[in-house]
Amino acid sequence: MPLDEASAKRYARKSAFLEFCAKDGLSVITGYGVEDLKTAALKHWERWGGPAAYCHLEGSQGFVGVIVAEIPAGKSLKPMRHMYEEQVLILAGRGATQFWSDSSKEPMTLEWQPGSLFSPPLNVKHQHHNGSATEPVRFATANNLPLIMNVYNSPDFVFNVPYEFTDRFAGQKDFFSSELKPGEEEDRVVNFIPDLTAVQLDYHPERGIGYSRLGIHLSGNSMVGHIMAIESGTYKKAHRHGPGAQVIVIAGKGYSLMWPPGGKFVRVNWKPGSLLVPPEGWYHHHFTTSKESARHLALRRGLRQVGHPWRPNLSEHEGGHLLEHEDEPPEIRAMYEAELKKEGVPFRMNPIERT
């Protein structure tokens, strides 16, 4: 039966997060993907004191999204602190971020470059500075601001609470170490990666010939992520998982196919700087069509044991959510081989043996 008028109005109303964006002057980018974060249109956001936009894509589903922002040449953004977690990826430019606590007099300075990744500890005061007098800095922060704003619906609380999480950060001078240590939440614990392209990954052929990966956990926060590489002429097996994984392309060229079980394909082409977010429960493949390997950074909500117990690394034959090649729709392989021919790139995968 159709919805009554009151119910229809409730369903049509924006989330508390999107109402915040409209009221606060933060422009919003929607869709299934962003072609290039380095050239996405931005608008001045007074709260940060610089150009910014929020990428609130279909697969984010109110958990995690990406702020893409700039620091004008020779300038700094406003000092900030916030009750949401974020992981900061430098897309272009060089500069530094300073961190300090209410009790410390001297700020800690972290210098960064294109390809650097770090995560400000939760609610620690920090400020981003451009190191060039002539070129802007552009960066992207994957963050759980939608989740936090939807829960508390109070910008004053989210951005102005003085509480310090000293169990995560207590002013340690060596906090932003780039040493990759064994982790419990993911493969490695690390608080600063100077260059994502230089990180050595572990080979996982069971998830796709030519596929490598390394899980990362930064700054003791709930959010996690992984770096993955897909070799030229290969693609990763399709899989399904929870919402909010922000996939940012670091290197290589190709496309991704996403579809709900029994539904139509959504195709997103990508290159360095592209962003895509698979919706919860949708199958998705990542296909490399460049002569060089593709490298992606996937930044995720974390929150273990929250929501549906997806198992994207376990075959569907064993009760998981990884689709074996013999079970994928046949048009997928044909489409990929045709794309490789257009690019003049050799196909490097074994034939599919269907039962």
Domain range annotation of the chain? 13-160, 181-343
List, for residues 156-179, the tens digit of each pLDDT value. 999 999 999 999 898 888 999 999
Q: What is the pTM of this model?
A: 0.95
Q: What is the CATH number of domain 181-343?
A: 2.60.120.10
d(CA 195, CA 337): 32
% pLDDT > 90, the chain: 90
Domain 13-160 has CATH 2.60.120.200: no
Q: What is the CA radius of gyration of the chain?
A: 21
d(CA 100, CA 233): 47
- Residue-level pLDDT at 156: 98
pLDDT at 1 > cutoff 60: no
- Residue-level pLDDT at 305: 87
Fold match between domain 13-160 and domain 181-343: yes
C-alpha torsion 195→201→205→210, nearest 10: 30
Overall residue count recorded for the chain in this entry: 355
Helix (H/G/I), strand (E/B), else coil: 49: coil
Model confidence at 281, pLDDT cuts 50, 70, 90, reads very high
List, for residues 190-212, the tens digit of each pLDDT value. 999 999 999 999 999 999 999 99
